[in-house]
Structure 1
């Protein structure tokens, strides 16, 4: 195990990010971790050794990101692995959510990751190595349930940009992986990580039922173990050929299989029409 690798994990004060940081520190990696509230991160990790650098960062502010990266380089000398984990869930149908609500979800879930990638790539290109791991969601592969359209769209965007990044960075010896977690037993469905629409429309009864299902029944009963997810994330960084796509959780696996089957069936069902448009 090469514990000399330097990790950067965003959104590290809770959820999968916190589980990963704790596991990395337990295995003596050098870790920089970001949060919006420094004290909450320090309290959650409860670790004061020199191989840990907690940072308060506004990921949608380029100057804040630049300052954080400079501080990491100053302390550790380099960065080897980046995990873009920061994000939150936004419920609400496409009609209900305001422009402000939708853009905020994209700002945090997509543009925050892009700000990190944009600043990290010159460092990785210069040393011709590095691994960028973007934490999406199985909702970045399936989007067929009401009230999560904008959230799904942010995760679909993260999937698309990771695929493109993988192709762009390959020539420089840099790897990119997009991770699709299913339901993990974290605080993701609690108020500070999961936002409901500010102006719900009464007619969307199915959307309200699905939101209630998530907050009242799924929350606290998720099948996924975040500590085991942390182990899986560390494991892929040890490979010379890490996956571009990694689904985590038996539920994510099943959801993905069902979506692939739907696409395959529709491709074949509409093959004549699909192929009728060539010259």
Structure 2
């Protein structure tokens, strides 16, 4: 295998950022194993009978299914270099109106699906003492001031947190970890097929309904971010000698992150004297 050619394993690859990434990688000559719940949709989107392309039907909530796909990737391409946990979906609804089942399902896919992939791919990456894991989160995993997106933000905050710990855990094995926190990109993310809504909405939540309508009607289709450019950024980061642990994507992501940092700093400054007065009193002998 050419030294510059890598083997990528990408989840949620039949649309959006995942699909853009798969197509660019294949054009560049890389080998790509791509997963989707619907393999026919994936093949139709990418193409069939491509020598460097391995389409895989995977249920990310099923460890056996994930393991079979990872084993097939290594069996087909001989190694595994870059893992992209891209699969996930949005969920809008207040914390009160979203049911336990609706909330847990979002975590099952967005968080535990990624963990299933990480647990399954790590033995290969550890054995070869190299690799790069990209976990696709969201700026909503850093900035949570979005009415109606509490559960979704919670899943993405979880992805950011586990990515930071993972980066510290696998550093000794020569493995890199980058958590990607995009802003708004023009994909199908805000369409009915990718954005869940509560089965039993509560009309009293005016701010939540306004946020929901704004995302579904106003923002959807008008996002400033280009997924093709985002995919190109990820490929460049994968080639970097010292890739970042945190990668915010898009000017809007940067703006929201700056706003969050400023707000936290202001809260810390305003309450520092009281909040740091919590130590045991020093007793002099």
The residue number in structure 1 matching 2:170 is 169
Find the residue that maps to 2:176 and give its secondary structure. strand
CA distance in 1 between counterparts of 2:261 and 2:207 reads 25
Distance apart, 1:97 and its partner CA: 0.5
CA distance in 2 between counterparts of 1:4 and 1:24 reads 10
| Correspondences of 1:111-150 after superposition (within 5 Å) | 111-150=112-151
Larger radius of gyration, structure 1 or 2?
A: 2
The residue number in structure 1 matching 2:50 is 49
CA distance in 1 between counterparts of 2:212 and 2:48 reads 36
Give the gaps of 5 or more residues in structure 2: 281-285
Name the stretch that deviates more: 31-40 or 267-276.
267-276
The superposition leaves residues 112-131 of structure 1 with CA deviations (integer Å, 9 ceiling, x where unpaired) of 00000001111111111010
CA contact (8 A) 1:3 1:28 kept: no
Find the residue that maps to 1:86 and give its secondary structure. coil
Distance apart, 1:3 and its partner CA: 3.9
CA contact (8 A) 1:6 1:81 kept: yes
Taking a change above 3 Å as real, the CA distance of residues 188 and 105 of structure 1, as seen in their structure-2 partners, is same
The residue number in structure 2 matching 1:69 is 70
Once superposed, what is the RMSD of the aligned Cα atoms?
0.9
Find the residue that maps to 1:13 and give its secondary structure. coil
The superposition leaves residues 29-65 of structure 1 with CA deviations (integer Å, 9 ceiling, x where unpaired) of 1000000000000111125321000000000100000
CA distance in 1 between counterparts of 2:3 and 2:16 reads 25
1:31 aligns with 2:32: yes
Runs of 4+ displaced beyond 3 Å: none
CA distance in 1 between counterparts of 2:4 and 2:44 reads 24
Number of aligned residue pairs: 279
CA distance in 2 between counterparts of 1:164 and 1:115 reads 16
1:5 aligns with 2:6: yes
The residue number in structure 1 matching 2:192 is 191
TM-score by length of 1: 0.98
